[in-house]
Structure 1
Amino acid sequence: MRNLGNGHSIPPSPLKLFGQAKKRINDIFKEIGEYIYESDNFIQKTYKNAADLVTAEDAGIVKGFKEKVDGITEVLARDHMKVAFFGRTSNGKSTVINAMLRDKILPSGIGHTTNCFVQVEGTDSNEAVLLTDDSDKPKSINDIKQLAHALSNMKLNSNKCIRILWPKEKCRLLKEDVILVDSPGIDVSPDLDEWIDEHCLDADVFVLVANAESTLMQTEKNFFHKVSSKLSKPNIFVLQNRWDISAIEEDIEEVRKQHMERNVQFLGKELNVVKPEDAENRVFFVSAREALVSRLHEDKGTPTPVGALQEGFQVRLFEFANFELTFEECISKSAVKTKFELHTERGKNINSNLRTVMEDVHQRSIIRRDEQSLIFQQKSDELDYMEKQTKLLTAEIKEKIKDMVDDVERKVACALNEEIRRLAIIVDEFDRPFQPDPFMLNDYKKDLQEHCSKALSQNLQTHHSADLNKSVYAARKNIIACSVSDEFVQKLHCMAFPLVLPGIKIGPFLIFYKKY
C-alpha cells in the first residue's frame, strides 16, 4: 500500500498490469518463435528432400514469419509507457514530473525554464547519466542545467531531446517501464507540428499542465487540437496546477466550478476524446510544489518546514495522489492496448498463416502417403503373385530339366553305342604298325587309346552336337517365354547340365562316361 501523506493509503500501482502483459506477450511470442523455428527447419529440410511436398513459396513464407517474429520480439523488448507533459511556460510541468518522481531531477523555476524536450527513463545502473542526440557518450547529470535551461548559453534547440537515465531503484514509476517527457512551453515556439511528429505520436497519455490562476488558454487548446488531428482520441489529463492559491482566495468554489466546466467542455465536446460525463475524472486541482516538498521531506524522514505548505494542503496532496492513481490506470490500459494490440493481431495472423501452410504440407503428405501405400500394396500383390508363379515355374522347369537330362543321356548313350559298333573301323584307321615287342607294346596301346578317344569325340561332335544344342536352346526359349529372367536361365543352365554331363566337350556340354 502507498501512503498519501495524510493518513490515507491506496492499493499497489496498476502499472504492474503493463509489466505483466509485457511479460505474458513476450512469453507467447517466445513460444511462437520456437514453433516457427522448428517449422522452418522442417520446411527447409523437406523442401530439399521432397520438393513435391513443400513448395519454394511455402519455404519463403515460413522464413518470412521467422523474420517477423524476431522483429516483433525486438520491439516488445523496447516497449514502454510514455507520458508527455505539455503546457504554457512556467505552468509547472517540470515540477509536476519531479513530484511524481519524488526527486528534483528536472530544472524548474519561474519564467521560461525548460528550453528543449527532456525524457526521463529508467536504467538498471546505480548512476544517473544524461544522453543527447548528437553523441552516444554519456554526460554528467549536472549538465542538464546547461543543456536544457532556457537561461543557459549552451542550451539546445527546442525540438531537440535530452535523455536522462535515472536509476530505477530510486523511482517506482521508472521501475514499471514508464517514460516521462517534459517539454518547452507551447507558447514559445512555432514548431508545434514538428514537436508532435517527433515526440508525441508514440505517447500513450498526455498531461496538460494548466495554471489555475488563469483560465484555459486558446494556445493550449490549439496545441491539443493538433494532437487530436494526428492521433485518434488521445488520452488527455488536465492538471489545474498551483491550486494552493485557493488557500488565500475568496469564492474559490466558484472558480473551481468555472475551471471544471471549461475543461469538461474542452475535453468532452471540443476534442471529443472522452465522454462529457467522464471528463470530470480527467481534471484535477493540485499543487505540484506542495506535493514535491511534502514527498522530499517524507522520503528523508524530516518534518516539513513551517509555511512550506498552505492551509488545506492535505486535500491537494490527496488529489495529486488520486491523479497519479487514475493516470496510472489509464496509461497502463492505454499502453497495453496501443503497444500490444497490434502485435497480438500480427501474432494471430502469423500463427494462422503458419497453420495454413503446415496444414497444406500435412494434407499433401497424407495424399503422398496414401499414394505410396497403394503402390506398396500393388507391389506386394505383384511380388506375392510372382513368388507363387516362380514356385510353379520352378517345379515345371525342374521337370523339364529332368526330361531334358534323360533325353540327353539317352541320345548320348545311343551315340556312344553307335560309335562303339564302329570301333573296328576306327581301329582300322590306326595306321601305326603293330609291334609285338613287350617293350613297345605299352606305347602302342597308349597311342591306340588316344586315337580312338579322339576319333570318338570328333564323331560325336560332328554328328550329334547340333541336335543337343537344338534341344537346349528350345528348352531355354520355352523358359524365357514363361517370363523367367535370362539370368535365372543361365543359373539353371550352369547348375543343371554341367553336373549331369561332365567330362567330354560336345558343343556347350561336357560328356564323360568313366566306363569308356
Structure 2
Amino acid sequence: MCLSRMLVQEAHSTWFSSCCVFVLTDISGNKALENITTQDQKEQIKGYTDKLAVIKEVLARRHMKVAFFGRTSNGKSTVINAMLRDRVLPSGIGHTTNCFLSVEGTDDDKAYLKTDGSDEKKSVKTVNQLAHALLMDESLDAGCLVRVFWPKTKCALLRDDLVLVDSPGTDVTLQLDSWIDKFCLDADVFVLVANSESTLMNTEKHFFHKVNERLSKPNIFILNNRWDASANEPEYMEDVRKQHTDRCVNFLVDELKVLDRDKAPNHIFFVSAKEVLNSRMQRAQGMPETGGALAEGFQERLKEFQCFERRFEVSGEEKSGCSTRTRT
C-alpha cells in the first residue's frame, strides 16, 4: 500500500511539474500562447512549484522529522526528553537552548555530536558534558545546528528513524525567515510548546504564520505545558482549559487555516512534560512511576501526553504518505 501511494504521488508530481515547465518556460516567446496566463498567475504557479519541491523532498526521506518551537523556558527540551524517556538534552534551571539541536539514533554504543561544517565526532558521555560542550563552543549561535547522535540501544523511540529538533526560543531572534529556510521546510510535524500558565503570545503566533507562508498546511500540534500547576486551583481548571482550547483552535483554524474546526481539538494537549519525564525515568529504574511528589491528576496528564505521542505519530505518517515505523 505504501509503495502504491508513493508511485501515485510521484506520477502526480511529475505531471504537475511538466505543466509548470510548459506554462513558465515553453510558452515564453510563443506569441500564439503568450496570453494564456498573466504574470500574477505565473508567480502563483512558481510558488506551487516551490512547495511541491519541498513535499517531494519530504516523501523521499526515510525518517520522520519533528520540530519543536516555543518561547524560551517553556519546556521544549523537557518535552523531547520525556518522549525519549531519558535526560538526553540539557533542560531545567540554568539551561537554555542557544542553538538548534537535532537528536537522532546511532548504531554506535556511545553518544556523540557533530557541529555545523564539521564531520568530527565529538564524544558525549553525559548530559552535563553535552551542556558544557554547547556552552563552551563560542562559534554556536541561534542559526547553528548541532546534531546529537544517541545510541539506539538506550532509546527505543530512536530506532524508528525519528529525528527530533529542539530550537532556541522564538522570542530571542529576528532571524525567523532564515530559521525556517534552514531547519523547517522538511519537517513532517511541528510542535508548539506553550506555557499553560499564560496565553499564546504574538511571538509564537508570528513564527507559525511565517511557517505557514512557506509550507502547504504545516502539520501543527500545540502542547500546553506545565498543566500540573492547574492542580493548585482545581475550581478554575476547566474554565482555564476551555479558554486555552478556544484560543488554540481559533489560531489553528481561523488564523493559520491549517485544520478544520472539528479536527483542531485533536491537535491540542494539556501536559506536564517534567512529570512524564520523571515518572518514566523512575519506571526505567524499576521504581513506581507514581513515586515522588506528583500533583493531583497526574494519571490524566500522563494519558494525555501518551495520546499526543500516538496522534502526532499517526498524523506524521499520513502526511508523508506511508509509515515510518519499524516497530511491531
Give the counterpart letter for 1:88 in structure 2. R
Give the counterpart letter for 1:225 in structure 2. H
Distance 2:219 2:61 in 1: 21
Post-superposition offset of 1:127:
1.6
Post-superposition offset of 1:234:
0.2
> Of the candidates 82, 87, 91, which is equivalent to residue 74 of structure 2?
91
Post-superposition offset of 1:247:
0.9
Post-superposition offset of 1:75:
9.8
Q: 1:129 corresponds to which residue?
A: 112
Q: 1:160 corresponds to which residue?
A: 144
- Correspondence list, 1:310-389, <5 A: 310-336=295-321
Give the counterpart letter for 2:216 in structure 1. S
Confirm or deny that 1:106 pairs with 2:92. Answer: no
Distance 2:172 2:222 in 1: 20
Q: 1:44 corresponds to which residue?
A: none
Q: 1:71 corresponds to which residue?
A: none
> Of the candidates 243, 258, 264, which is equivalent to residue 258 of structure 1?
243
Relative to structure 1, the CA distance from residue 154 to residue 277 in structure 2 (aligned partners, 3 Å threshold; closer, same or farther) is same
Q: 2:216 corresponds to which residue?
A: 232
SS in 2 for 1:284: strand
CA contact (8 A) 1:124 1:168 kept: yes
Post-superposition offset of 1:129:
1.1
Distance 1:210 1:176 in 2: 27
Q: 1:42 corresponds to which residue?
A: none
Give the counterpart letter for 2:154 in structure 1. K
Distance 2:132 2:94 in 1: 16
Larger proportion of helix: 1
CA contact (8 A) 1:204 1:338 kept: no
CA contact (8 A) 1:119 1:181 kept: yes
CA contact (8 A) 2:6 2:321 kept: no
CA contact (8 A) 1:147 1:154 kept: no
Relative to structure 1, the CA distance from residue 111 to residue 210 in structure 2 (aligned partners, 3 Å threshold; closer, same or farther) is farther
Q: 2:134 corresponds to which residue?
A: 148
Deviations 1:182-208 (A, max 9, x none): 000000111111100000000000000
Q: 2:170 corresponds to which residue?
A: 186
Distance 1:213 1:329 in 2: 29
Q: TM-score, normalised by structure 2?
A: 0.77
Relative to structure 1, the CA distance from residue 202 to residue 248 in structure 2 (aligned partners, 3 Å threshold; closer, same or farther) is same
- Correspondence list, 1:164-175, <5 A: 164-175=148-159
Q: 2:288 corresponds to which residue?
A: 303
Distance 2:146 2:272 in 1: 26
Post-superposition offset of 1:264:
0.2
Distance 2:170 2:58 in 1: 31
Give the counterpart letter for 2:80 in structure 1. I
Give the counterpart letter for 1:87 in structure 2. G
Give the counterpart letter for 1:326 in structure 2. R
Distance 1:268 1:144 in 2: 39
> Of the candidates 172, 181, 206, which is equivalent to residue 222 of structure 1?
206
Post-superposition offset of 1:128:
1.3
Post-superposition offset of 1:220:
0.4
CA contact (8 A) 1:22 1:76 kept: no
CA contact (8 A) 2:2 2:323 kept: no
* Unmatched segments (≥5 aa) in structure 1: 1-19, 30-73, 340-516
CA contact (8 A) 2:2 2:322 kept: no
- Correspondence list, 1:243-282, <5 A: 243-249=227-233, 250-282=235-267
CA contact (8 A) 1:115 1:155 kept: no
Deviations 1:470-490 (A, max 9, x none): xxxxxxxxxxxxxxxxxxxxx
Answer 1 or 2: higher relative contact order, Cα 8 Å, separation at least 6: 2
SS in 1 for 2:148: strand
Give the counterpart letter for 1:172 in structure 2. A
Post-superposition offset of 1:248:
0.5
CA contact (8 A) 2:280 2:289 kept: no
SS in 1 for 2:73: coil
Report how many aligned residue pairs link the two structures: 272
Distance 2:134 2:211 in 1: 24
Confirm or deny that 1:203 pairs with 2:187. Answer: yes
- Correspondence list, 1:15-94, <5 A: 21=2, 79-94=62-77
Distance 1:175 1:313 in 2: 28
Distance 1:231 1:338 in 2: 21
Relative to structure 1, the CA distance from residue 331 to residue 80 in structure 2 (aligned partners, 3 Å threshold; closer, same or farther) is same
Deviations 1:235-275 (A, max 9, x none): 00000000000110241110000000000000011000000
Superposition CA RMSD, Å? 2.6
CA contact (8 A) 1:146 1:155 kept: no
Percent of aligned pairs sharing the same letter: 59
Post-superposition offset of 1:140:
1.6
SS in 1 for 2:191: strand
Post-superposition offset of 1:112:
6.2
Give the counterpart letter for 1:325 in structure 2. R
CA contact (8 A) 1:99 1:295 kept: yes
Distance 1:237 1:296 in 2: 25
Relative to structure 1, the CA distance from residue 192 to residue 338 in structure 2 (aligned partners, 3 Å threshold; closer, same or farther) is farther
Deviations 1:405-463 (A, max 9, x none): xxxxxxxxxxxxxxxxxxxxxxxxxxxxxxxxxxxxxxxxxxxxxxxxxxxxxxxxxxx
Post-superposition offset of 1:303:
3.1
Post-superposition offset of 1:153:
6.5
CA contact (8 A) 2:193 2:222 kept: yes
Post-superposition offset of 1:134:
3.1
Give the counterpart letter for 1:197 in structure 2. D
* Unmatched segments (≥5 aa) in structure 2: 11-56
Relative to structure 1, the CA distance from residue 25 to residue 174 in structure 2 (aligned partners, 3 Å threshold; closer, same or farther) is farther
Deviations 1:343-375 (A, max 9, x none): xxxxxxxxxxxxxxxxxxxxxxxxxxxxxxxxx
Q: Which has the larger radius of gyration?
A: 1
> Of the candidates 265, 271, 278, which is equivalent to residue 286 of structure 1?
271
Give the counterpart letter for 1:195 in structure 2. W
CA contact (8 A) 1:290 1:308 kept: no
